[in-house]
Structures are given as C-alpha cells and as structure tokens.
Amino acid sequence: MPPRPLLPVLLGLALTANVAFGADLDDCNAEVPAPAAAVRPAAEAYWLDGRHLQWPGLKLQPGERVRLHHAAAAGLRALPGEQVTGGDGAVALQPSAAPLPARLRFIGEGARLAVAEGVPVATLLRGQLLLVHEAADGRVIASTGVQIAGALDDLYAAAERVGDLGAHPARAGTRFAVWAPTASRVLLCRHAGGDAPAVAAEAMHFDAATGVWRAELKGDLSGQAYRYLVDVVTPTHGRVRNLVTDPYAVMLTTDSRLSVVADLASPALKPRGWDAAPRPPRMKSATDQVIYELHVRDFSISDASVRPDWRGKYLAFTETGSLGMRHLKALARAGLTDVHLLPVFDLASVPERGCKTPTVPDAPADSEAQQAAVMALAAEDCFNWGYDPWHFNTPEGSYATDPLQRVVEFRQMVMALHRAGLRVGMDMVYNHMAAAGQARKSVLDRLVPGYYHRLDARGEVERSTCCDNTATEHRMMAKLMIDSAALWVREYRIDSMRFDLMGHQPREAMERLQARVDAEAGRPVQLLGEGWNFGEVAHGARFLQASQLSLNGSGIASFSDRARDAARGGSAGEGGDDSVRRQGWLNGLVYAPNALAAARAEDLLAAADMIRVGLAGSLRGFELTTWRGERKRLDAIPYGDQPAGFVSEPGEVVNYVENHDNQTLFDVNVLKLPLGTSREDRARVQMLGAALVAFSQGVAYFHAGQDLLRSKSMDRNSYDSGDWFNRLDWSYQTNHFGTGLPPRQDNQGRDGRDWALARERLADPSIAPGPAEIAWARDVFRDLLRIRAGTPLLRLPSAAEIRKRVSFPGSGAAQNPVLIATRIDGRGLGGFRALLTFINVAPTAQALALPDEAGARWVLHPVQRQGADARVRDGARFEAGRFEVPARSAAVFVLE
C-alpha cells in the first residue's frame, strides 16, 4: 500500500474529519508494504515538556532567531541560505531559563527556548516540525527536527491512567482504544475473520486529554480481526497512511497479519479445568528458586516419544509420558522449582505457516557441511531463540498446532507444568523491538513515530541491545511494559520473570512493575534479569538503571558474572587463542594448564576468592579474608572497574555458570581443559560447575541440558542456528558434540582461527561423552538438587543470616586455591547444626585440616551417602579434624 494523498487539512493542523470513504476500505485490505527509501533529517533538538525546547550546541549571535516551522502536509524545506518553504507557518520562540528536567540530563548544553502560552503545541505535533536557526531576514542558517517524547509525556500524562487500551468485547458492545496522539486520523479496519477482507473502515474519535483514539461498536465482536489505519507524520517518510496491528492485541491471525478481538476470560479460550487448576505453592523466599532455562522448541523437537504434530509445540508439555516430561518431573522431585521459557510472546523471526526444515547431511564431526545446510534456510526455518518481539501480549503462534489456538495451548502448557510441580517463568524482552520506523514489522513506531524508541543525539534509533531499543523511560513505553507483564501474570498464571537486558530499563519502572504483578497474582512474582551496564544508558547516563550496581535493595535479582567468569575462565565474546589460553577455576587455571596457558599463581588465587564471592551471594557487606591476607567487604574487592559484591540481599543475585548465551559449559571446557582430559573427568568438571551454583547463596539458575553435558558443537551464539545445533536428547544417548563445525557467521573467528580450534577438538573421538557419562552427570545433578532442596542452610533468606552464619575456612593468604570450603552454622534453625561444602577442582585428591573441628562428628550428607558419585561416596572422609576430598569432586559434610 503506497502512501496515499490525504484529505486537505482544514483549519491549519486540526484533526482531519472522521469520515470513512471507499478508498479507506481499499487501504484496509492492502498488505503492509516494504518502506520506501528514508529521508532522515537530523533531530538534534528536544522537547523538554509541552512548552520548552532545547537545541544542544546552538549559540545565537545578535540579530539571529529561532523559529518553529510547521507543515501539516510535511513538505518543509529548509536549505541553508534560503527561506523556509513548504510550511503552514512559524512560531516565534523566546529564550527560557526553565531548569532542565532531570530525566533529560543527558542532553548537551545549548539554547533553551519557550513557546508562548496559548500556542496549540498538541496540534503542531500532528504535523512536521522543524526548528530553524535564522538570520534577521529569515534566511536559514541551520535547521533540525525535534525529538517529541518530552512533549508527549507532558501533554498526555493522563494516558498513563487509561486502563482499556486494546480491544474489549462484551455482549452489549466492543470497545477499541489505541494511543496515537500525533495522528491526524485513525480508522478501525474490521474483518469478519482472519482470512476475510475488511468489511468496514470505522471512524475512531480522539480524546484530547489522553491522546487515545476510541471506537465502540454494537455487539460482541469476538473472533473478528482488525487493524488500525493511521494518518501520521513520520520523521523519515513525511506524511503517510500506516496499516498497523494493535500493540495491545491479545490474539493474532497467522503470521501476525491482523489483530483479533478476544476476551481472555471467555470459556472458548480456556482449556478444560483452567479455572480450578492448582498452582505450585507460594515461594517462601526468592532464594528457594531453582530454575531451569528451556526453549519451547528445543524441549521436544527431537523427542520421538512425543506425537509428531506436537513436537516443538506447547502441547508437548502435556504429553505426560514423554521422555522430556519424565525428565522434568524427575528434576521437580529432586528440587527444581521453576522452568523459565525463552521468549514465548509473538516474535518476528519464525514463520507461523510454512516454515522449512533443512536436510542436514551425514558428514564428519568437523565438517562445514552441516552448518552450511542449516544456515541456507535460517531465515525461513522453524527456529529462533525469539529475542525479536513483535507483539508483547500474545503467545507466539509457531509453537501452537494452529496459530489461532495459541492462547488455549499456551494455557495447557502452563497447566501441565504446574501439575508436574513446576512454576512457569517467562523471558521478558521489553528492551527492544524487532523493527522500528516504517519497517513492515514495526508496530510502535508506525503508530507514534519517534516516541517509543530511544534515540541518539541525532534522532537515530539506538541499537546497543542488538536491535531497535525501546525507551521504557518514556511514560507510555513503561506503561506498555507494565501492562503487558501484568497480563501474563493475570491471564496465563506466570510465576516468575526473567528480563532480557534489564539494565536498559529504569529501576523505577521495574519497581512499579514488581508492585503491579504482585498485586495481579496475589503473591510475590519473582523478577530477575540481566543487569549489564552498557550502551547509551551506561552508568546512569539517562536514568537510574535496573542494573547490577543500581538494583540493590529493590528485591529484584540480577545475574552475577563474578563467579561465572572466574569458574569458566575468560569472558563472554572472547575468541581465537584467548578462548583456550584464559582458563578458569573449574577447567585448569594454573593447576592443569593447557597447551596455550600462560597464567600466574596469583591468577588462581584471585579466581578462588571470586568463587567465594559467589558462594557468599555477592553481598556487599559480607567480609572475606582475601588471598593477600586482607579482611575486606565484598564491595571493596575489585571486579574489573566494579565491586565484586553488588547486592544487599541474597534474593537479588542469580548464580549460574551456563545459560542460552555463549558456549555451553561443556563446550567451554572442551576449549580450556587439556586436550587429554578423559571423558569421565569432563563430566566431573561439568558437575563441579553445577555444584558451585547449588552451594551458592542466592537464586540457582541452570541451563536445560547442563545436567546432560549439553553441547552445541561449540556454537557460541546459537540464536539462529536451527534445531541442529540446539538439540536436546532426553534418551541420554548423546550430547550432540561433534555434529559439525558451528555456523560460520559467529564462530569462524579472525583468519578462521576459531574454526581451526574447533575442528581440532570436534574431530577428536575421545571427547564426546557416551551414555554412561551422560547418565552419571544426570544422576549427580539430581543429587545436587536434592541437597539444596533439603538443606535450607544453602539458601538463607537474608544478608543478616549469611553474615552471621557463613564463613570460609581455609581462605586467606595461606589458602589452597583448588579446594574451597564453605562453613554454614545452623544453630537455632533446626535441621543440621552445621554444614561444610567442599569443591575440589584439582585432578588429584586434596585435604583441608581444620583443628577446631577435631572433636566434632562430621559425616557425609545423607544424599551423598547413597548418591550417584561413588568417588565421593567412598572417598570423601573426615578424621581428627582433617577433611579429604577426592579429585574433581564436590562433597558436603553435615554436623548432625
């Protein structure tokens, strides 16, 4: 649908008459076109509120002026040295001494200007605006567009309290509401069904107080499809007519072409038993969470015990006797509390109809052929992680057997997991969208151009998150995020949430979200997320972030990279020889050097202390005697340019050594362990990583398949690597190591070095584990879960309790850095009087003498006395104040 000429605008920039014509109905039936080439004048000035502007860098000389030119038809031309043409008029501006709002502190210094009282700014915002620096005779010296968010947040503050955005059917009538304050006209395109042509283009009416357009039609229109036809000015394409789905849609047709009117409370959208279905009990403390991160498609696409039509779908979780569900139920019995699903909202990267499955050749373990076949269809296949949100409030349709059944089948999945004793968590991705501007899959920016996305100093959309960043510091983007999270809790019974790149969101917005979802659920909904500090918002440049260093005291948890990096070695994104050279505490740092190692003894000592930081919950106020012999608070121990201790309470830290990002722990260890390491020892090292998480204070977080030595054939970024590189085998026969070189794009490395390192290892038949090693790891992992679940001392609920009860015997200047002991005093709590955990990463047995314990009766934890690890069961011992721990083993002793 090419942009159409619009009706002449009457009375300057007033709203176009709300009358529908035959041409409107034609436009309703058009397809959303690929955008024409953009003309993007810089937008270097800012609306500070509804009356004030600032132009960074502008300095006026005597006789010069600044005027705000406007044009309803968006035909302004402002060429240097010439007069402005194509406009409807210009507004004189006066210098202003108004203070710069704190939320706009990132704006550069420059002229601050005011619009006179009585100027209809809201009306001006519906057309094209240019701020023009002029000579006394009106000739253009410079011009710029103006970023509009500050004005819209001020003028339409009341919109934040609107509670009925979206479509709301009822017997008497169906209401539609959409926020589009800069549109001059909005029509409701109504379709009888998903595949039917539009039957009406209904006029919508504008509420000047809120910026919301509304329509109310007779009768219950549930099942009808709709879109909005929006006449609006964009900063890139002038005045356009956009056909847009509803950002508040709760149902969509196949491939998200149309929104669908739906009442989520309707019996037609509820599986049998939904209303009365039981939920897992309320979580007593955030530290009781033990989380398993899982992708819906990964879970069942390779599981032959699931009926074929359900593989890769929500309904696979309802197949109670499948191998995958038997695995999850076994984990739940052992102590797993939550399954966290990678994105399950409507995503843009997977076709919901007609996705393709590549034919992957049977090729050698180090061949390029497999990845070539997978990537040839990557844009059309059925797989993606899903971090490309299209519509936040609707389940993804490719995981349903029919996209129109997505709501019912998603709820069936939730019921099945709840019946298995597992809470359901969701990966929430509100920090960016799949597209912005006039792109076909852009929604927010085609409704309110220039508002929902965070812009840089020239008005370009920021992309530090990988995609088109959203601006949750803006009133209505924060509202959308909070309303959306509340919907998932209320309508789908989501128990906990993980926020992707949460540090790009304001702490204040996240705290409001926390209060809202708790109220909707009638119980605490645990929130956690990636509190990484980077990009245009880093170090609080725009607002107080929901980042690691800024969240303490909020009760919202963030992932800790402290112990993760110390354990794995190196850091995310490393490549080439560094990916081998930079070993970690788990995989040989100093004590088992690989062929490229170049570490110093103090590197191992520092890593051991960082492991203790993680075991103590990364608490700011916990004190540790470091390897230098100094007694320090954890927030006084450096981690790069940040403090190692960064949380106030243990419920604010998420401990992990593996998740969907980067290589799996098994694959990292393939790089960093000495090449001659046995299969058995590779499995043992993997379980030492699991033990580190299980023994750490805070929230425990594991990646699906981590318990089965999961490999992605060394893929460091499998977001679009198809089913082939993301498979799980619940029959415990293979971990899929050696199934071809990983995809070239993110894994070849400079001069092919990463592929060369991978090829050497993938071709080595001694590395891939067999069924025996996988089964051993599976069983040891479940023992670790049983130990954590049955031992409250490993998940203390408060910082005060941890400071009082946790200590690290054997730490300090004289420590043995390959054997870390943690003592937890249990007096007064019931259960064990005390607990000692040991992790020995060395390939030889290690001992720790604690003379003060000589008179005590320490015994192996009851789970390990009957456990799957015979080496620990038979070789871990205590005698006369001396603890012995076998090679590459984790042992727990208790004082009964």
Distance CA 668, CA 580 (A): 9
Q: Which helix (H) or strand (E) holds 608?
A: helix 601-615
Check 246, 530, 609, 652 and give the catalytic one. 530
Check 293, 445, 500, 667 and give the catalytic one. 500
Distance CA 326, CA 88 (A): 69
Distance CA 435, CA 431 (A): 12
3-class secondary-structure state, position 622: coil
Report in angstroms the alpha-carbon separations of 166 from 214, 248, 268, 545.
Answer: 10, 5, 19, 29
- 852: tokens are 């003060």
- 716: tokens are 């460091």
C-alpha radius of gyration, the chain, whole number: 30
Q: Which helix (H) or strand (E) holds 785?
A: helix 771-789
Report the candidate in 549, 452, 557, 576 with the shortest Cα–Cα distance to residue 514.
557
Angle between helices 679-695 and 665-672 (to 10 degrees): 130
Alpha helices in 42-199 (DSSP H): 121-124, 149-155
Can 623 be counted among the known catalytic residues? Answer: no
Cβ atoms of residues 637 and 644 within 8 Å: yes
Burial label, 661 (beta-carbon count in 10 A; 0-12, 13-18, 19+): middle
Distance CA 251, CA 246 (A): 10
DSSP assignment string, 530-554: -----GGGGGGSSS-BSSGGG-TTS
Can 729 be counted among the known catalytic residues? Answer: no
Report in angstroms the alpha-carbon separations of 628 from 36, 108, 600, 625, 849.
Answer: 63, 45, 15, 8, 20
> What pairing do the DSSP bridges indicate for beta strands 205-207 and 212-218?
antiparallel
3-class secondary-structure state, position 760: helix
- 714: tokens are 């060394």
Catalytic machinery residues: 500, 530
